[in-house]
């Protein structure tokens, strides 16, 4: 069947059953951009259910507000979503839009792609969702749907696989006069019916177009992510003046505050106060929180600072450390103030 027939069936299905999300109720490129950036590596249930999207737009309603915001405010608003580079890149983009585009988001796909932090998927999403342009998108859901429709076992993380997916997505979006609905349909189909482990093939609105012989075996990936176990040992020190925290300088969480690392020369190892685990990308981290060694009571590096209890709630920190700190303070002499 021609691409136009598949595209028409996808669009028809989406108009009948498509889920209602706030970013689908607007053509504002800023609001759509925020949703796309938040949804990178984060589930819709988190972005919406925990109020991140609504709070962000309330605090930073447009490019001008975001461009002028302090990094501390941005990181605090983003806290809990992880991958903080996304928030920084979002502000850099806002600053470029203000400085180089007079505050108006460009409409040309090439100009959108040239903005900092924008890749082919995000450029296609904004082009189609905000401006109604026939530009393709390929994310994990779309890759799975297209691989199954074409019974294509080419690894999707290979150069050849990526090329074929983008060509197929382009063919489909160029075959419709409603690219916004077509791209939304491809994603929605992957989210709700063409699922990774248990595809619901009998309920698929485009099953007559599907050539998959073993849907659950597609898509194919050449590289599987290996989980690495990591240990972090930190200290907890508080005084009437506040809690000692360390500002991170690594590429992943620069600028955020955390419980300070346990000094390598701490002998013997101080008593354990709390042990917890968390996951991030391909790492499973075990976090050990110890009492502060006696020599840490009055001497610490420039990267460390006593944060007053009243400021802890508004101090940007990674959510695993926030949770650990709240547990530690719950039974301590001083309390975390909201």
Residue after which a domain boundary falls, among 217, 251, 278 = 217
- How far apart, in whole angstroms, are the C-alpha atoms of residue 338 and residue 18? 39
168 plus 297 within the same structural domain: no
DSSP string, 298-328: T---TTEEEEPGGGGGGS---HHHHHHHHHH
Both tokens of 44, joined, read 């819709």
Task: Find the CATH number of the domain harbouring 79.
Answer: 1.10.340.30
Query: At which of 195, 217, 239 does a domain end?
Result: 217
Q: Please tell me whether residues 189 and 260 are part of one structural domain.
A: no
How many CB atoms sit inside 10 A of residue 61's CB? 14
Per-residue model confidence (pLDDT) at position 336: 42
- High-pLDDT (> 70) share of the chain, %: 96
Average pLDDT of the segment spanning 311-315: 92
Nearest to 36 by CA among 175, 183, 182: 183
Q: pLDDT digits over 4-16, tens only? A: 999 999 999 999 9
Q: What is the pTM of this model?
A: 0.84
Domain boundary among 175, 195, 217: 217
Cβ(43)–Cβ(83) below 8 Å: no
Percent of the chain with pLDDT over 90: 82
User: Which of the following is catalytic: 36, 79, 246, 248?
Assistant: 36
Rounded Cα gap, residues 153 and 137, in angstroms: 20
Report the run of H or E that residue 291 belongs to, with start and end.
strand 283-291
**One domain, residues 239 and 258:** yes
The pLDDT value given to residue 338: 36
The continuous run of DSSP H or E covering 72 comes out as helix 71-78
- Catalytic annotation present for 36: yes
- Give a yes or no: residue 259 inside a domain: yes
> Reduced to 3 states, what is the DSSP secondary structure of residue 238?
strand
Residues 170 and 267 in one domain: no
In this predicted structure, the answer to whether residue 176 has a pLDDT above a threshold of 70 is yes
Which residue segment(s) compose the domain that 207 sits in?
Answer: 3-217
Domain CATH number, residue 284:
3.90.79.10
């Amino acid at each position: 069947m021609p691409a136009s027939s598949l595209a028409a069936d996808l669009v028809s299905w989406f108009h009948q059953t498509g889920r209602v999300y706030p970013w689908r109720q607007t053509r504002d490129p800023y609001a759509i951009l925020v949703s796309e950036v938040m949804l990178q590596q984060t589930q819709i249930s988190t972005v919406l259910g925990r109020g991140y999207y609504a709070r962000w737009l309330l605090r930073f309603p447009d490019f001008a507000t975001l461009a002028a915001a302090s990094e501390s405010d941005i990181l605090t608003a983003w806290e809990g979503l992880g991958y903080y580079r996304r928030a920084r890149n979002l502000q850099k983009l806002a600053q470029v839009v203000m400085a180089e585009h007079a505050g108006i988001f460009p409409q040309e796909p090439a100009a959108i792609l040239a903005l900092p932090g924008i890749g082919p998927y995000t450029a296609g999403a904004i082009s189609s969702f905000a401006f109604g342009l026939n530009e393709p998108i390929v994310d994990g859901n779309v890759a799975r749907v297209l691989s199954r429709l074409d019974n294509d076992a080419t690894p999707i993380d290979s150069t050849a696989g990526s090329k074929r997916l983008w060509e197929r997505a382009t063919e489909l979006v160029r075959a419709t006069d409603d690219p916004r609905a077509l791209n939304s349909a491809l994603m929605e189909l992957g989210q709700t019916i063409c699922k990774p482990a248990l595809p619901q093939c009998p309920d698929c609105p485009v099953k007559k177009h599907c050539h998959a012989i073993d849907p659950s075996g597609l898509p194919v990936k050449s590289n599987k992510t290996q989980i690495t176990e990591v240990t972090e040992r930190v200290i907890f020190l508080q005084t009437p003046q506040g809690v000692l925290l360390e500002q991170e300088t690594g590429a992943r969480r620069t600028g955020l505050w955390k419980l300070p690392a346990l000094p390598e020369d701490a002998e013997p190892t101080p008593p354990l106060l709390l042990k917890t685990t968390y996951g991030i990308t391909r790492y499973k981290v075990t976090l050990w929180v110890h009492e502060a060694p006696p020599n840490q009571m009055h001497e610490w590096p420039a990267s460390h600072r006593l944060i007053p209890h009243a400021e802890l709630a508004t101090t940007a920190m990674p959510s695993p450390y926030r949770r650990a700190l709240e547990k530690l303070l719950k039974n301590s002499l001083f309390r975390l103030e909201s």
